[in-house]
């Protein structure tokens, strides 16, 4: 076991150029609107101008890194490949926990590791930790206030005549921010727990009838393994689903019986059909008057948007939350993930979300970078949670025809 306390913290002699797999920014979200970037990794030789000095420095670095790697793994072969310390690991051996320990040790040297299966061999490469640019938190606050303004205006105009539009605007704003904010903070808190650099949420203001295009947080470093990738993708929709359900329950009890008036009808998520039955059994929803209808309270509409956001984000494609989950469950099996992506685009098209279908199609041209350790398998409990996410997707989906 090497003595890490004595290891110098320094800039290593090898470099990684281009878009490093661990250095690019990945959107964790796509609440209605989003963009994405993904990266192709290229490993390049270091500058060789001061060859002799570099060679001895590289050799010393290589030996230190080798000592760290071999303290946790059985190494079959250690070599410098294109200037990058590369280790072929003996098989079979446990990789998940040793990799996390290696990451921790390398952190002291400002390095990270990537674990991949290449040509049937398990290969660990060590590269410099990419620097993370600090975020300007003022942008988060500015966008939050702008979104508060647009949701307030939207809520004002959504308010039926019988309620004070200022109260309706404020209630809609609070409910929308609760739904979107909880979803995003689900991602953010998990990112913090897993040691992944991620920004605070960026809320995106929008015009009525929604008042927002959702929110997004940007992930600035890669998750350590598939478990962490799964958690960061899943925790947002799970948190968002819970709060959207609570907001929907409050909103549905506030529906307003009205004589027949011109009104836009909206499709009802499966979960709403269940909630309606449940609330009706306790007489918590007003009865529809003869020849009349029930007008949605703005809070109920926020719950409806929350359900929509949850279902759209869970589509197993590209950089959507469901895309991260699919990547962690299926690994690099591109053909299967492509089938899921095509099904997602078909779903969006059939449901009428044409611009989003195009965006998802565009995002497919960017490769998902995966986690740092792409070899260790996903835990069994998370595979079960993945089934739960399919259940949440179905509950939040709006069928073209009511099914109850």
> Which residues form the interface with Zn ion (CB under 5 A)?
29, 236, 313, 321
| DSSP letter for each residue of 31-63 | SSS-------B---PPP-TTHHHHHHHHHHHHH
Q: How far is CA 292 from CA 248, 256, 263, 298, 371, in A?
A: 22, 10, 11, 19, 54
Cα→Cα distances 343→7, 185, 327, 357, Å: 51, 28, 15, 11
Smaller CB separation from Zn ion, 159 or 221? 221
DSSP lists the bridge partners of residue 293 as 258
- Which residues, other chains included, contact 315 with Cβ-Cβ below 8 Å and sequence gap of 6+? 322, 323, 344, 347, 348, 360, 393
Find out whether 232 and 196 touch, Cβ atoms under 8 Å. Answer: yes
Question: Exposed (0-12), middle (13-18) or buried (19+): which is 157, by Cβ within 10 Å?
Answer: middle
Beta strands in 119-252 (DSSP E): 121-128, 202-205, 212-216, 218-219
The residue count for the chain: 404
Q: From CA 315, how far away is CA 321, in angstroms rounded?
A: 7
- How far is residue 292 CA from its own chain's centroid? 42
CA distance to 84, 95, 179, per residue, from 295 (Å):
64, 56, 21
Give 118: exposed, middle or buried? Use CB within 10 Å, 0-12, 13-18, 19+.
exposed
Residue nearest to Zn ion (CB): 236
Element (H, E) at 293: strand 292-295
Q: At what angle do helices 270-281 and 380-396 cross, to 10 degrees?
A: 80
Query: In the numeric block, which tokens belong to residue 91?
Result: 């098989």
Cβ partners under 8 Å of residue 362, min gap 6 = none
């Amino acid at each position: 076991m090497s003595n890490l306390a004595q290891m110098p913290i320094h800039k290593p002699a090898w470099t990684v150029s281009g878009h490093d797999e661990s250095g690019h920014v990945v959107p964790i979200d796509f609440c209605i609107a989003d963009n994405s970037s993904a990266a192709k990794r290229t490993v390049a030789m270091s500058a060789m101008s001061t060859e002799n000095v570099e060679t001895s420095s590289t050799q010393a670095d290589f030996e230190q890194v080798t000592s760290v790697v071999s303290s946790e793994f059985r190494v079959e072969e250690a070599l410098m490949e294109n200037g990058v310390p590369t280790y072929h690991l003996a098989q079979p051996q446990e990789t998940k926990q040793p990799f996390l320990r290696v990451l921790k040790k390398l952190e002291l040297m400002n390095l990270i590791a990537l674990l991949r299966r290449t040509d049937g061999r398990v290969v660990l490469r060590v590269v410099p930790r990419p620097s993370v640019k600090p975020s300007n938190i003022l942008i988060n606050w500015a966008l939050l206030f702008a979104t508060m303004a647009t949701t307030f205006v939207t809520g004002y105009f959504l308010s039926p005549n019988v309620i004070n539009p200022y109260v309706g605007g404020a209630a809609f704003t609070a409910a929308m921010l609760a739904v979107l904010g909880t979803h995003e903070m689900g991602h953010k808190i998990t990112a913090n727990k897993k040691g992944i650099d991620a920004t605070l949420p960026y809320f995106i203001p929008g015009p009525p009838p929604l008042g927002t295009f959702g929110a997004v947080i940007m992930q600035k470093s890669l998750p350590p393994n598939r478990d962490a990738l799964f958690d960061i993708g899943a925790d947002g929709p799970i948190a968002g689903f819970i709060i959207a359900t609570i907001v929907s329950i409050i909103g549905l009890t506030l529906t307003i019986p009205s004589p027949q008036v011109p009104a836009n009808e909206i499709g009802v998520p499966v979960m709403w059909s269940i909630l309606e039955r449940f609330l009706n059994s306790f007489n918590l929803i007003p009865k529809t008057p003869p020849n009349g209808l029930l007008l949605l309270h703005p809070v109920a509409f926020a719950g409806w948007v929350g359900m929509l956001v949850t279902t759209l984000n869970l589509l197993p494609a590209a950089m959507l939350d469901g895309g991260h989950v699919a990547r962690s469950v299926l690994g690099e099996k591109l053909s299967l993930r492509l089938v899921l992506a095509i099904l997602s685009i078909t779903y969006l098209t059939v449901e009428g979300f044409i611009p989003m279908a195009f965006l998802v199609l565009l995002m497919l041209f960017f490769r998902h970078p995966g986690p740092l350790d792409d070899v260790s398998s996903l835990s069994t409990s998370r595979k079960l949670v993945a089934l739960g996410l399919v259940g949440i997707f179905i509950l939040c989906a709006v069928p073209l025809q009511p099914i109850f």
